Amino acid sequence: MSLGVLYGVGIGPGDPQYITLRAAEVLRSADVVFNVISRNAEESVSGAVVRHFAPQGDIRQLVFSMSRDPAVRQAQVQANADAIRAELEAGRHCAFATLGDPMTYSTFGYVLAILRAALPGLAVEVVPGVTSFAMLAARSARVLAENGEQLRVIPSFTEQQARQLDFPPHSATVLLKTYRSRPALLERLREEKGLRLLYGEHLTMPGEFLAEDDEALNALRERDQEYLSLLLVKRDRS
């Protein structure tokens, strides 16, 4: 039997209406749809989006370790890749549904590398998705980057890295996962003058929150730390 096709499907920030027509088609038609879920959760944001489209195939949930031990994390990635590989070798078409875009800070990239090495000739189709930072700009109606501005995306940072963040003139810096090292981040932001800030949580989902400038600083200081959060920091030319 020939191998199944592997689809990496970007499902955007969490609201099903923001995925592409192609993504919806793949989710509905794949033999198996994999999505990521937290270890102790009964449902996930990605799982809810997948179920919205009533797939004809099986839905399988994958847990990815958040351990600080790289060996533990890699073992979990390998186990998940092995589960997908078994379905592909059985000739079943498999979709991996991931929040945002499959090729931008996604667990799909790790799984894809393993499967390509293990299954030469594997057919792969990637369906792009809306990233969180694109949605932050859209929901706030604020330009993400224009007129030669340097756009930078920083996925996560330690306390030490937060204190060393720089915000060059004529730049737009996206800080993902702002729940990490918040006190150090706040300290760093307070040191700078002339920054424009835009903070967002749970974009397009219940509980969505947006705040700008001083309100963004207050939100970082006072609100609970959220995994699905990000901050846009902009600095003009002068």
CA distances to 57, 153, 155, 166 from 229, in Å: 32, 14, 11, 20
Residue 141 tokens read as 């109606």
Whole-structure pTM value = 0.91
Mean pLDDT for 83-100 is 97
Model pLDDT, residue 37:
81
Model pLDDT, residue 134:
97
Reported as a pLDDT band with limits 50, 70 and 90, residue 65 is confident
Alpha-carbon span 49 to 24, nearest angstrom: 10
Beta carbons within 8 Å of 127's beta carbon, 6+ residues apart: 7, 8, 9, 10, 20, 22, 23, 26, 102
206-219 pLDDT tens trace: 999 999 999 999 99
**Burial zone of 157 (CB within 10 Å; 0-12 exposed, 13-18 middle, 19+ buried):** buried
**Burial zone of 114 (CB within 10 Å; 0-12 exposed, 13-18 middle, 19+ buried):** middle
Q: Kindly report the CA angle at 130 between 226 and 51, in degrees rounded to 5?
A: 75
Judge whether residue 158 has pLDDT over 90: no
Model pLDDT, residue 42:
57
Task: Give me the sheet containing 94-98, strands edge to edge.
Answer: 58-62, 32-36, 94-98, 6-10, 124-127
Mean pLDDT for 74-84 is 94
126-154 pLDDT tens trace: 999 999 999 999 999 999 999 999 999 99
Residue 4 tokens read as 């199944």
Q: What is the DSSP string of 87-136?
A: HHHTT--EEEEESB-TTSS-HHHHHHHHHHHHSTT--EEEE----HHHHH
Alpha-carbon span 236 to 3, nearest angstrom: 52
Q: Are 188 and 163 in contact (CB under 8 A)?
A: yes
Residue with tokens 């846009």: 232
Judge whether residue 125 has pLDDT over 90: yes
- One-letter identity of residue 132: S
Which is nearest to 130 in space by CA: 1, 23, 52, 29?
23
